[in-house]
């Protein structure tokens, strides 16, 4: 029988065909398979409400009156299947269906016509699902049976088509034909006179194939199979080689062409320079970036895979070119005077960092702090000696001679309630710092903090050390600095003095109090002490709960060293 092409064959009545056992086996195999039995395990409470999935195989199956057809279904669920059975829904006559439960059943119709059989399965969660099978009991012309699914295949790749025929007597012939093709194509069906054939074509497009079956009496029937022939994906990489400075991202984008859906895109590194760890990011998109980390060639491969599982690839070269090192320093580090402070820089390069060094390029006036130690490493320790701001520079050089530098500001803050710093401008001289307690009446006494009694601290006033003065540095051979500090000074008026113990020089005094940190509250000098044993009465510092007041004194006179009045 000929008619309008249909993707799925409509049920029709007909005469005998292939042997029944062979046909039944073929029809059963068209489904997704079946389990051998049904589990009776206890319900799994960890998966409440799990759905059930059922599959009845071909939706239309054929037999003849009084010829038995085996029906096979499957049921799957994360929860145990506890019940499954076929049920006869409607149709002519008094057909039999046994056994009454299970995923397999034998169906025997008594009359020709259309019969509806339903399979239903239930799991331990009480969820159920069902599927229907239409059983055609035919007498008369043959029935052509085509695969129910449509097919996709790439250009020049064969696809297997499994057809069949049914007749109440015998099918004696099969004929496959291409009834719709694509301009310029040369499609091939081989073999053309067997129920199972292979189809391929050299041009992408939509094709329609027809299977015709013949019985002994010359009666025929047709069914139709649509086949989509697809082009393999085509990918094009960016034109290379692409020059890219190291440590700078370069954008890459591949072109992908396909007549269907592209399901996977992947970039990978084929080769890279020694010691490199650079990889495309992201690696799963046609648009990516690569940041070369070494000088040399990076060979990248892009691959696209379409929904049919076919792939195409292309490659591109990226040439990493030399760039100077990249160096990074902390912007600002806060510390306190005389505290060893870690200063950690870092450097990266497309080669090897051959040298690194820290230097002090700026310091408060009067500072005599030494260099960072070690000075030849990106990680160093620096000890500021007085309050103020210090600028440190890190410079690195790579194996190609390229260099880079950065700076760090080290801010040494005075955290004490009272801090006195002095420095002077002559070498080989000794200027001494003095700080008198509010109750002091003379210099060089127990209430005078100076080199003779205050190195390491001097006990004053209240119990504990918070109000005790401490001479941190006593410089005896020129320039200074020296400092005296009290963490929490008691209320009262303290006097600051400088004694020229040996030699002459121009002396500068800085006083921090009342919350000043890296900037002094007052600075005095430079004042010339022209000979040994002069005393510069610098200032009085009055400490109160509300802050501090500094009054300049400014007198310079001879110093008798012992018993000198306040």
SS (H, E, C) 132-171: EEEEEECCCCCEEECCCCCEEEECCCCEEEECEEECCCCE
Q: How confident is the model at residue 48 (pLDDT cuts 50, 70, 90)?
A: low
Token pair for residue 64?
A: 């003849």
3-state helix, strand, coil in the chain (%, to 5): 0, 50, 45
Q: What is the CATH superfamily name and number for domain 143-230?
A: Immunoglobulins (2.60.40.10)
**What pLDDT is recorded for position 168?**
84
CA 536 to chain centre: 67
Q: Mind listing the pLDDT tens digit for each residue in 411-457?
A: 999 999 999 999 999 999 999 999 999 999 999 999 999 999 999 99
| Domain boundaries along the sequence of the chain | 20-39+50-137, 143-230, 234-321, 326-412, 418-558
Token pair for residue 105?
A: 């059943």
| Statement: residue 158 has pLDDT above 80 | yes
**What pLDDT is recorded for position 44?**
47
**What pLDDT is recorded for position 379?**
97
| Statement: residue 307 has pLDDT above 70 | yes
| Statement: residue 39 has pLDDT above 60 | no
**What pLDDT is recorded for position 333?**
97
**What pLDDT is recorded for position 41?**
43
| Statement: residue 559 has pLDDT above 80 | yes
Q: Which residues pair with 548 in a beta bridge?
A: 543
CA-derived radius of gyration, the chain: 49
Range name among 39-48, 390-399, 431-440 with the lowest pLDDT average: 39-48
Q: To the nearest 10°, the Cα dihedral for 39, 41, 42, 47?
A: -70
- CATH class of this structure's domain 20-39+50-137: mainly beta
Tell me whether the CATH fold assigned to 234-321 matches the one assigned to 326-412: yes
Stretch 384-391: mean pLDDT: 96
Stretch 68-87: mean pLDDT: 95
Q: Is the peptide bond before 226 cis (omega within 30 degrees of 0)?
A: no
Stretch 383-399: mean pLDDT: 96
Q: Is the peptide bond before 60 cis (omega within 30 degrees of 0)?
A: no
| Statement: residue 403 has pLDDT above 50 | yes
Token look-up 């993707």 returns: 7
Token look-up 């209320």 returns: 491
Q: How confident is the model at residue 470 (pLDDT cuts 50, 70, 90)?
A: very high
To the nearest whole number, what is the mean pLDDT of the chain? 89
* Closest C-alpha to 196, from 78, 437, 30, 365: 30
Q: Which CATH architecture does the domain made up of 326-412 adopt?
A: Sandwich (2.60)
**What pLDDT is recorded for position 6?**
33
Q: Mind listing the pLDDT tens digit for each residue in 49-64?
A: 899 999 999 999 999 9
Q: How confident is the model at residue 9 (pLDDT cuts 50, 70, 90)?
A: very low
**Fold of the domain built from segment(s) 234-321:** Immunoglobulin-like (2.60.40)
| Statement: residue 165 has pLDDT above 90 | yes
Q: Mind listing the pLDDT tens digit for each residue in 539-555?
A: 999 999 999 999 999 99
Token pair for residue 557?
A: 């006179």
pTM for the model stands at 0.56
Residue 119 near residue 31 (C-beta atoms within 8 A)? no
**What pLDDT is recorded for position 260?**
78
386/412 Cα distance (integer angstroms): 7
Q: Which residues pair with 243 in a beta bridge?
A: 319
| Statement: residue 47 has pLDDT above 60 | no
How many other β-carbons are positioned within 10 Å of the β-carbon of residue 376?
11
């Amino acid at each position: 029988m000929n008619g309008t092409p249909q993707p799925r064959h409509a049920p029709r009545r007909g005469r005998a065909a292939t042997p029944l056992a062979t046909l039944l086996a073929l029809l059963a195999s068209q489904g997704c398979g079946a389990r051998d039995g049904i589990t009776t395990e206890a319900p799994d409470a960890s998966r409440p409400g799990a759905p059930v999935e059922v599959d009845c195989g071909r939706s239309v199956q054929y037999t003849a009156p009084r010829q038995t057809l085996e029906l096979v279904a499957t049921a799957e669920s994360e929860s145990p299947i506890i019940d499954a059975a076929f049920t006869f829904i409607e149709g002519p006559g008094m057909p039999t269906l046994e056994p009454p439960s299970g995923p397999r059943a034998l169906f025997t119709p008594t009359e020709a016509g259309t019969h509806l059989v339903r399979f239903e399965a239930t799991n331990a969660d009480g969820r159920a699902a069902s599927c229907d099978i239409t059983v055609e009991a035919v007498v008369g012309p043959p029935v052509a049976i085509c695969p129910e699914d449509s097919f996709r295949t790439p250009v020049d790749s064969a696809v297997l088509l499994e057809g069949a025929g049914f007749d109440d007597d015998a099918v004696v012939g099969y004929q496959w034909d291409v009834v719709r093709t694509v301009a310029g194509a040369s499609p091939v069906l081989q073999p053309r006179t067997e129920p199972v054939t292979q189809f391929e074509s050299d041009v992408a497009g939509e094709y329609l194939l027809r299977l015709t079956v013949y019985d002994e009496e010359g009666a025929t029937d047709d069914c139709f199979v649509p086949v989509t022939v697809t082009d393999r994906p085509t990918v094009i990489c960016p034109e290379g080689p692409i020059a890219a400075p190291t440590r700078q991202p370069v954008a890459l984008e591949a072109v992908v062409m396909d007549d269907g859906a592209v399901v996977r895109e992947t970039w990978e590194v084929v080769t890279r320079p020694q010691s490199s760890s650079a990889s495309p990011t992201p690696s799963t998109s046609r648009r990516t970036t690569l940041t070369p980390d070494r000088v040399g060639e990076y060979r990248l491969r892009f691959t696209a895979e379409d929904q049919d599982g076919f792939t195409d690839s292309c490659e591109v070269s990226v040439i990493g070119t030399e760039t100077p090192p990249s160096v990074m320093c902390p912007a600002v580090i806060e510390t306190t005077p005389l505290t060893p402070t870690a200063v950690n820089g870092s450097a990266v390069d497309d080669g090897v960092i051959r040298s690194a060094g820290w230097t002090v390029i700026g310091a408060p006036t009067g500072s005599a702090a030494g260099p960072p130690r070690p000075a030849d490493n990106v990680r160093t320790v620096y000890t500021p000696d007085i309050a103020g701001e210090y600028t440190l520079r890190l410079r690195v050089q790579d194996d190609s001679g390229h260099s880079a530098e950065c700076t760090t500001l080290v801010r040494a803050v005075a955290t004490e309630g009272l801090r006195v710093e002095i420095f002077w401008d002559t070498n080989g001289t000794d200027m001494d710092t003095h700080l008198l307690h509010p109750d002091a009446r003379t210099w060089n006494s127990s209430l005078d903090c100076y080199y003779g009694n205050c190195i390491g601290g001097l006990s004053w006033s209240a119990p504990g050390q918070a109000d005790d003065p401490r001479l941190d540095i006593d410089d005896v051979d020129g320039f200074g600095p020296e400092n005296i500090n009290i963490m929490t000074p008691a209320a009262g008026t303290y006097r600051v003095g400088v004694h020229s113990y040996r030699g002459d020089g121009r002396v500068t005094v800085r006083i921090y109090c009342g919350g000043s940190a890296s900037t002094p509250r007052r600075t005095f000098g430079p004042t010339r002490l022209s000979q040994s044993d002069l005393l510069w009465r610098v200032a009085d510092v009055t400490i109160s709960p509300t802050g501090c007041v500094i009054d300049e004194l400014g007198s310079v006179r001879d110093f008798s060293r012992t018993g000198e009045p306040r």
